[in-house]
Homo-oligomer: A and B are copies of this chain.
Amino acid sequence: MIIDIHGHYTTEPQALHRFRDQQLAGLADAGRKPKSADLGITDEELVKSVEPQLRFQKERGSDLTIFSPRASGMGHHVGNEAIGREWCRVSNDLVHRICTLLPENFAAVGQLPQFPGAPIDNCIPELERIVGELGFVGVNLNPDPSGGYWKSPPLTDRSWYPIYEKMCELEVPAMIHVTGSCNPAVHFTGAHYINGDTTAFMQLLQGDLFKDFPTLKFVIPHGGGAVPFHWGRYRGIAQDMKKPLLEEHLLRNVFFDTCVYHLPGIELMARVVPVDNILFASEMLGAVKGIDPRTGHHYDDTKRYLDQVNQLGEDARWKIFEGNARRVYPRLDRQLAKRGHPGRKTA
């Protein structure tokens, strides 16, 4: 089974965008607020909206996509906290419906109603709802709800602890994923996303968070930002800071996805990052939509790159494509087992 752990609902129906426009228009003119959070989207429309994803799954050879609302759409810095909470709920509910309609193809990950300066505690009810009531298997956590200005304390700060306690209790990992940037100096997919990954990794390196939360799990997307390319730098900085080796200090808790859109990048990852820490992902229909004229294939068809990394043996491939995902997302593993897809016994 091939599990793609990083997909966003980037083919959402226009009705969702209309709702968001009305929400934000309502800030300026209360008469324009949406009348209802019922978007009137039918199941048929939802299934139709993810046909591109289903086609790519078939064409590229993946089975299941871990699916969350559009990352840039989370917009934690936009509007106010109440509007954000409603938006979050509506966005999560749509993802839930898709995953319920197509359980063999999608497993749900949610967004949180984070808001700049608001305590993370305010996100706990939504986390409990999506995991406890809706069966979500993970959550996206934004280390910079200010949208490109980095006004929150680092992820190792105690102010974040309430969400970590709840994540551990519920056995869900977080993908550390920023949302859009409202900073004109920082492009969202070309700078903010990658910087977010790099910054989060460095925050974790500086701290000792996993002493307090030994079972907490984070996935850093986009191949870990700059981290694998600068693996020697991070090993050396950790050493200068008298931290343990990265393997002991971070790698029981921190994982990287494979959203790196060329073969040399994927080869580098496979060389420097331990195989237990690499999870297959493509973020298809996301940041880069084109076809690479050098290969004739989509840039974001990352399975092709992995298939070309010759030094990966069968066991390593199984870990990257399935085993690690089942380990990092234990609720997904149990859902799959219940539906007749048991995992492999590991040594």
Seen from chain A, the residues whose Cβ lies within 8 Å of a Cβ on chain B are 143-144, 148-154, 183-187, 189-191, 194-195, 198-199, 202-203, 205-206, 222-223, 225-226, 228-237, 239-240, 260-262, 264-265, 267-268, 271-272, 287-290, 292, 299-300
Contact = CB atoms under 8 A, between A and B. Distances in A.
A141 to B, nearest CB: 14
Contact of A194 (B183, B198, B236): B198
A199 B189 contact: no
Contact of A185 (B154, B230, B267): B154
Interface pairs A-B: 5 shortest CB-CB: A232-B262, A232-B261, A226-B226, A236-B288, A229-B229
A299 B32 CA distance: 59
A181 to B, nearest CB: 9
A265 B262 contact: no
A1 to B, nearest CB: 26
Contacts of A191: 195, 198-199, 202-203
B226 A153 contact: no
Q: Which of A183, A226, A232, A287 has the most CB of B within 10 A?
A: A226
B190 A237 contact: yes
Given A199-B195, A290-B240, A260 B232 contact: yes
Chain copies in the assembly?
2
B287 A237 contact: yes
A86 to B, nearest CB: 28
A299 B194 contact: no
Contacts of A288: 232-233, 236-237, 240
Q: Which of A144, A191, A199, A264 has the most CB of B within 10 A?
A: A191
15 contacts: A149-B149, A151-B185, A153-B185, A185-B199, A190-B202, A190-B237, A194-B233, A228-B229, A230-B265, A231-B262, A231-B264, A232-B262, A235-B292, A240-B289, A262-B272
Given A150-B148, A299-B233, A199 B186 contact: yes
A264 B272 contact: yes
Given A150-B185, A231-B262, 15 more contacts: A154-B185, A186-B199, A187-B202, A190-B237, A191-B199, A191-B203, A194-B198, A195-B199, A226-B229, A233-B261, A236-B290, A236-B299, A240-B290, A264-B271, A265-B268
Nearest to A185: B150
Contacts of A150: 148-149, 183, 185-186
A340 to B, nearest CB: 37
A260 B292 CA distance: 27
B292 A236 contact: yes
Contacts of A186: 150, 199, 202
Contacts of A184: 153-154
